[in-house]
Structure 1
Amino acid sequence: MLKEDVRKQIATPLGGPAFPKGPFRFNNREYLNITYRTDLEALKRIVPEPLQVEEPLVKFEVMYMPDATGLGRYTEAGQVIPVTYNGIKGEYSHCMYVDNHPAIAVGREASAYPKKLGAPSLFIDSDTLVGTVDYGSLRIANATMGYKHQPLDFDKAREEITKPTFLLKIMPDFDGKLRICELLQTQITDLIIKEAWTGPARLQLFEHALAPLADLPVLEVLHASHIITDLTVSSATRVYNYLAEEESHSPSKMEEIEVSLQK
């Protein structure tokens, strides 16, 4: 393969990349969102500067995607944290557990979504909407909500889903040092709300060394929503480079050569 042809590729392996080129459209994407109060100090230990935490809140979400262009059908779940950055109110995506390899690969390689392999599910059990997450053979989360108890205003549902999302992109170089360490921002666009509901909800998180959802304990459930949408996820943009200050203070290659010659 010629070098110019290599430069046209979007991902490895060559000839059969792990994911296609976006953008990605999601039809009938279904959300179970549970917002809860947690320990403020635990949040501050987790959320990276320059993001700022103002309230001790976390949103646990389970999302079922039955029709995602290029990615197929899958489910993901995780925690997002309300934050502010330069006066912009948004959410920091803390962790995600996903059951689809192309979705994991494109989320981490082409963007910065903190995705790991897991087994989330979203289903109806009699009169209850249920979201679960397993990591390996162990249950790490149980979420329940009364199924379609009360309509949720579409404007409130839209506001809940379309907040700017901040992502932490970390990529090491071959020597183990950081090659990329950036804060990215993305946002959902072309959103169509099809259904929106609220109702009583509960959330249980279970301790796990490698899937530490319970490090942000559930102290009080404040709000729950069940929303069905069509939407597009936009490309991420860089808003902060953690290595810029370090690079500005590190010697240039020419300076290193001069010092070597002096020795």
Structure 2
Amino acid sequence: MKQQDVLRHVTTPLSNPAYAPVVPRFTNREYLNIVYRTDADALRAVVPEPLEIDEPLVRFEVMKMGDVSGYGPYTESGQAIPVSFEGERGEYLHAMYLDNFPATASGREISAYPKTIGSPRLFAENGALVGTLDYGSQRVATATMGYKHHRLDVAEAEAQITVPTFMLKTIPDYDGSPRVFELVRTEITDVVVKEAWTGPARLQLFQHVLAPLADLPVLEVVSASHILTDLTLAPVKPVFDYLKGARS
């Protein structure tokens, strides 16, 4: 394979790439969002500067991807933390667990999504919307919400899922020292909200050393939403370089 041909590839293995070179379009992406109040000290311990925390809130999410170009259907779960950066409000993605390797690999390599393996599920059962997350055979989260109890304003639903997102892009050098260490920003675009609901909700988190969601304990459930949408993820852009101590 000639050098110019090598450069056409974006990932390895060269003859069998881990993911397709496409910009994925999410069709029928279904959210279960539960915002809860947590311990302020625990939150400060995991949110990196220069991001700032206003209230000690966390959004637990389970997302069932109905269809995604390049990846197919899959399910994802994790925690996002409301933050601000230089006056702009957004969310810091703290942890993401999913059951699709191409989506995991591309999310980590091309962008900076903190994705790792997990077994999330989202389904309706006996009048409740149920979201679960297992790590191996162990349950680490169970969320329940009244199924379609009250309609949620479409504009409010869109505002919930389109806030700017901040993540850490970390790539080690060959000696183990940091080669890239950046705070990056992205956002959701081309959004079509098809359905949006709210209602009563509960959330349980269980201790696991390799899936430490419960390190941000649930003190009070603040709100919940159930949203069905189509959307596209914008490319990430660096906004702060930790190795330089300044904006990129």
Partner AA of 2:205 in structure 1: L
The offset of 1:66, in angstroms, is 1.7
> Is residue 188 of structure 2 the alignment partner of residue 188 of structure 1?
yes
* 1:194–1:219 Cα change, 3 Å: same
**1:16-60 alpha-carbon deviations (Å, 9 max, x no partner):** 111112311000000000000001111111000000001000000
Match of 1:33 in 2: 33
**1:196-239 alpha-carbon deviations (Å, 9 max, x no partner):** 00000000000011110000000000100000000001110000
The offset of 1:126, in angstroms, is 1.5
Match of 1:141 in 2: 141
Match of 1:114 in 2: 114
Match of 2:198 in 1: 198
Q: Report the Cα distance in structure 1 between the residues aligned to 2:34 and 2:228, rounded to whole angstroms.
A: 15
Greater helix share, 1 or 2? 1
> Matches of residues 89-108 of structure 1 in structure 2 within 5 Å?
89-108=89-108
SS of the residue corresponding to residue 102 of structure 1 reads: helix
Partner AA of 1:118 in structure 2: G
Match of 1:19 in 2: 19
Match of 1:251 in 2: none
Q: Report the Cα distance in structure 1 between the residues aligned to 2:43 and 2:54, rounded to whole angstroms.
A: 10
**What's the TM-score once normalised by structure 1's chain length?**
0.92
Partner AA of 2:97 in structure 1: Y
Match of 2:158 in 1: 158
* 1:149–1:245 Cα change, 3 Å: closer
Structure 1 segments of 4+ aligned residues over 3 angstroms from their partners? none
Computing the radius of gyration from Cα coordinates, the structure with the larger value is: 1
**What's the TM-score once normalised by structure 2's chain length?**
0.98
Match of 1:256 in 2: none
Deviates more, 1:18-27 or 1:142-151: 18-27
Partner AA of 1:140 in structure 2: V
Partner AA of 2:111 in structure 1: S
What is the root-mean-square deviation in Å for CA atoms of aligned residues? 0.9
Deviates more, 1:237-246 or 1:67-76: 237-246
Percent identity of equivalent pairs: 60
Match of 2:85 in 1: 85
Q: Report the Cα distance in structure 2 between the residues aligned to 1:51 and 1:168, rounded to whole angstroms.
A: 11
Aligned residues: 246
**1:119-176 alpha-carbon deviations (Å, 9 max, x no partner):** 0000011200000000011000000000000000001100000000001111111101
SS of the residue corresponding to residue 210 of structure 2 reads: coil
Q: Report the Cα distance in structure 2 between the residues aligned to 1:197 and 1:21, rounded to whole angstroms.
A: 34
The offset of 1:182, in angstroms, is 0.5
**1:55-75 alpha-carbon deviations (Å, 9 max, x no partner):** 000000000002000011100
Partner AA of 1:14 in structure 2: L
Q: Report the Cα distance in structure 2 between the residues aligned to 1:146 and 1:185, rounded to whole angstroms.
A: 33
The offset of 1:244, in angstroms, is 1.2
Q: Report the Cα distance in structure 2 between the residues aligned to 1:220 and 1:71, rounded to whole angstroms.
A: 35
> Matches of residues 229-248 of structure 1 in structure 2 within 5 Å?
229-245=229-245
Match of 1:172 in 2: 172
Match of 1:131 in 2: 131
Q: Structure 1: which 5+ residue stretches go unaligned? A: 247-263
